[in-house]
Amino acid sequence: MKVCIFGAGAIGGYLGAKLALAGADVSLVARGPHLAAMQDKGLTLLEHGADPVTVPITASDDPEKLGPQDYVVMTLKAHSVPPVVPLMKPLLGPDSTVVSGVNGVPWWYFHKIGGPLEGTRLTSVDPGNAQWDGIGPDNVLGCVVYPAAEVSEPGTVRHIEGNRFSLGEPDGSKSDRAVALSQLLTNAGLKAPVRPKLRDEIWVKLWGNLSFNPISALTDSTLDVLCTDPGTRAVARAMMVEAQTIAENLGVKFPIDVDRRLDGGAAVGSHRTSMLQDLDAGRPMEIDALVGSVKELGMLTGTPTPTLDTVLALVKLRARSAGLYT
């Protein structure tokens, strides 16, 4: 099987390195100094308790040079995906599967979900239907990404924690393509369960992202602080309760309650969320995928979201003031 990681930064680099070390036929689409370093010296992986290991790897900024793939794993920030859909075309053959390893509400969320919202398209995460029309929902396999990693220097990825990539078909079936990819990832030392209800898992991760990320960007606070300070914890909790109501209206079941999810965030410690890191670094922030999409789902289900709406307005203005949101 040929696998291409599209957007091989920290998470994509970690995944690509693990697959390459296991002997998989893997290639990376990357850019800038990180790409140049990988092309020159290979990709170096730093894992806790293990010696650094460098693996030669195929990396390019031109998908045309890589050709059709069995799996194309998207590990970009959500807002970066729609503009690159045309660039993906050389990677997609008639039997290619696009693995959507992107944070937030996925653009394919209402594909094969059944009910009155079947086929609904989300403008907050797929403006202009770029992904729906350009990739096609039948070609997508869902993925919830759990590892944390960073590019410590060009060509080097440091793994911080986690090794699970949960997979799931939009219709909940245990398809041959899902099982084959699960086996490939398992052979690389990763956890890759095939979930019959991946949307439930999407919401548990999103629960934290939709609240912790914007609050941290607004307050410059780490998870341990914002989850234990009475004021910010109350705001996060209210946002999570609103989101839970939306999700349950869509048939989602949560395996834990709100307070346990908040306590889990606090237990992570002095972590700066991805949105706060993007703000610090002057990078575009994933506001629409993590927060705007939930507001859109609230409107679709007729669910009021007053706290989420307030925080969304504030974080959008914060991002605009920094020149990071249009």
Beta-carbon contacts of residue 197 (< 8 Å; ≥ 6 apart): 168, 172, 253
User: 10 Å Cβ neighbour count for 317?
Assistant: 12
Residue keyed to tokens 């084959």? 180
Q: What is the pLDDT averaged over residues 316-326?
A: 94
Query: Does 102 have pLDDT greater than 90?
Result: yes
What is the CATH class of 199-321? Answer: mainly alpha
Give φ, ψ of 262 to 5 degrees.
Answer: -65, -40
CATH 1.10.1040.10 residue ranges of the chain are: 199-321
Comma-separated ranges of CATH 3.40.50.720 domains in the chain: 2-196
Q: Which CATH class is domain 2-196?
A: alpha beta
In angstroms, the CA 271 to CA 213 distance is 11
Residue type, 159: H
Longest C-alpha distance within the chain, in Å? 54
As a whole number, mean pLDDT of residues 101-121 equals 96
Strands, E, within the chain: which ranges?
Answer: 2-6, 25-29, 43-46, 53-55, 58-60, 69-74, 92-100, 140-145, 148-153, 156-161, 165-168
pLDDT digits (tens, 9 = 90+) for 175-211: 999 999 999 999 999 999 999 999 999 999 999 999 9
Residue 304 is predicted with a pLDDT of 97
Using the predicted structure, report yes or no on whether residue 250 has a pLDDT greater than 80. yes
Share of the chain above pLDDT 90, in %: 95
DSSP string, 127-145: GGGHHHHHT-GGGEEEEEE
* Tens-place pLDDT, residues 216-227: 999 999 999 999
d(CA 312, CA 214): 7
Catalytic amino acids? 205
